[in-house]
Amino acid sequence: VLLLDEPTAALDPKSASIVMQTAQQLITTHQLTAILITHQLKDAITYGNRLIHMSEGSIVRDVSATEKQQLTLNNLYEWFNTELLTV
């Protein structure tokens, strides 16, 4: 199991992309199960197969891989009551 706890926090976008690509290669090459903890919804939808939203130690929403395919970044922000900020 590969645990990625905020692996791109405090990184510039280019470095963050390199870190996530490297993680994906490790996961694929070694057939690992990975848990990505992130506050970046864009990373969650891009890299996650299954999404679990937690709040105060409880699961609020569990999105399967099948359900995830139908999601857009905008519905994720609506579900999690978060404003979509584009930079």
**Tens digits of per-residue pLDDT, 45-64?**
888 888 888 888 888 888 88
73 found inside a domain: yes
Query: Residue 8 in contact with residue 20, Cβ under 8 Å?
Result: yes
87 found inside a domain: no
The CATH number that applies at residue 35 is 3.40.50.300
What distance in Å separates the CA atoms of residue 73 and residue 56, rounded to the nearest whole number?
23
Query: Does pTM surpass 0.85?
Result: no
86 found inside a domain: no
- Tell me how many domains the chain contains: 1
Tell me, what DSSP letter sits at residue 53? E
Of the candidates 21, 86, 26, the residue with the CA atom closest to the CA atom of residue 47: 21
pLDDT beneath 70, residues of the chain: 80-87
69 found inside a domain: yes
28 found inside a domain: yes
pLDDT score at 83: 53
Q: Which domain holds residue 49?
A: 2-79
pLDDT score at 21: 95
